[in-house]
């Protein structure tokens, strides 16, 4: 059965990899549209990046630009990880794919109001758009199948010792989402670190087709951080929620109570995953992915790039 999805994202190198995987599986995932959010870079930049990438691979798509700032904190773009453009590395064409003259929140409203089936929201950036949507159109919450998101962690951190960037950027939005009672699937740093691509797998992409060359150029820039630290692999963070939709059998998961720390010099954006037992079933607000089979994961991902080059 085909699942209808909206991809909320901040492209972002790994966001693009997730979108490529989804585009290679139209039978399983029907992408109703893309909403963009301030995160890796300012929302104008990440929106332009998405339009250029779809143009580069010859795909169309509905793009609606979203919130340009977190609910309470200032934007905190990450040029160190994604460059000044938010997608440094590849040479991208001028976009011919147009951005809708409609805010992401209104686009989400229109899609959910007009759908006869529930929609899955795939959140690959800060949760600002989704929080504003839930607050603005609470009657449409029942049209959401689930929110599967890349964000948070069980015990580690990247932007802070115990906080992951997407949650850190807008913890107030994350709190709204995690307390919404909508089913949440959380792909945190631990499972994302297991879903890492070998730098030799990146190098082998070059010269095999337009899409694989684009992925190569994007991942060469994205993996520099880890290559410079003598690591042999880089996490494909945002690919994880999409891969889980396609192959849940590649993962293990467990439901936990998950609370969001909205402020704190060292803990802003921490996902407090309560591991204590016994647990009250009424408090289990998130299914947390814990492990994945990296080799099966990576084969499907690399095959997806090959498939897109065949199309």
Task: Give me Rg for the CA atoms of the chain.
Answer: 18
**Among residues 133 and 165, whose Cβ is nearest to ligand RIB?**
165
Smallest distance from the beta carbon of 157 to ligand RIB, in angstroms? 9
Q: Which of 150, 195, 260, 308 binds ligand RIB (CB under 6 A)?
A: 150
Q: Which of 5, 7, 8, 15 binds Ca ion (CB under 5 A)?
A: 15
Instruction: Work out whether 83 is an interface residue with Ca ion (CB under 5 A).
Output: no
Closest CA to 29 of 63, 59, 3: 3
Q: Which of 34, 107, 178, 237 binds ligand RIB (CB under 6 A)?
A: 237
Instruction: Work out whether 90 is an interface residue with Ca ion (CB under 5 A).
Output: no
- What tokens appear for 307 in the block? 């498939």
**Among residues 87 and 105, whose Cβ is nearest to Ca ion?**
87
- By rule CB under 6 A, what string of x and - marks binding of each residue 154-183 to ligand RIB? ----x-----xxx-----------------
Instruction: Work out whether 88 is an interface residue with ligand RIB (CB under 6 A).
Output: no
**Among residues 61 and 241, whose Cβ is nearest to ligand RIB?**
241
**Among residues 55 and 166, whose Cβ is nearest to ligand RIB?**
166
Binding region for Ca ion (CB under 5 A)? 10, 12, 15, 124-125, 238
Binding region for ligand RIB (CB under 6 A)? 10, 12, 14-15, 39-40, 124-125, 150, 158, 164-166, 237-238
């Amino acid at each position: 059965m085909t699942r209808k999805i909206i991809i909320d994202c901040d492209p972002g190198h790994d966001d693009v990899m997730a979108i490529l995987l989804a585009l290679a599986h139209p039978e399983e995932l029907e992408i109703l549209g893309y909403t963009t959010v301030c995160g890796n870079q300012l929302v104008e930049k990440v929106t332009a990046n998405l339009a250029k990438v779809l143009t580069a691979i010859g795909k169309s798509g509905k793009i609606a630009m979203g919130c340009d700032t977190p609910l309470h904190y200032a934007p905190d773009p990450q040029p160190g990880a994604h460059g000044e453009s938010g997608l440094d590395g590849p040479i991208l064409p001028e976009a011919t794919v147009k951005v809708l003259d409609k805010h992401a929140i209104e686009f989400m409203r229109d899609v959910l109001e007009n759908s006869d089936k529930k929609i899955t929201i795939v959140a690959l950036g800060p949760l600002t758009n989704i929080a504003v949507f839930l607050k603005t159109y609470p009657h449409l919450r029942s049209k959401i199948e689930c929110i599967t998101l890349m964000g948070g962690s069980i015990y580690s951190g990247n932007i802070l010792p115990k906080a992951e960037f997407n949650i850190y950027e807008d913890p107030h939005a994350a709190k709204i989402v995690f307390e919404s009672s909508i089913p949440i699937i959380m792909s945190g740093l631990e499972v994302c670190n297991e879903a890492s691509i070998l730098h030799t797998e990146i190098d082998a992409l070059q010269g095999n087709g337009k899409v694989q060359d684009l992925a190569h150029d994007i991942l060469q820039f994205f993996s520099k951080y880890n290559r410079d630290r003598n690591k042999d692999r880089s996490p494909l963070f945002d690919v994880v929620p999409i891969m889980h939709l396609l192959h849940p059998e590649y993962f293990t998961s467990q439901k936990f109570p998950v609370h969001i720390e909205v402020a704190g010099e060292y803990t802003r954006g921490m996902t407090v995953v309560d591991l204590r037992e016994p647990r009250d079933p009424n408090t289990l607000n998130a299914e947390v992915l814990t492990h994945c089979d990296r080799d099966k994961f990576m084969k499907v991902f690399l095959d997806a790039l090959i498939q897109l080059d065949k199309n």
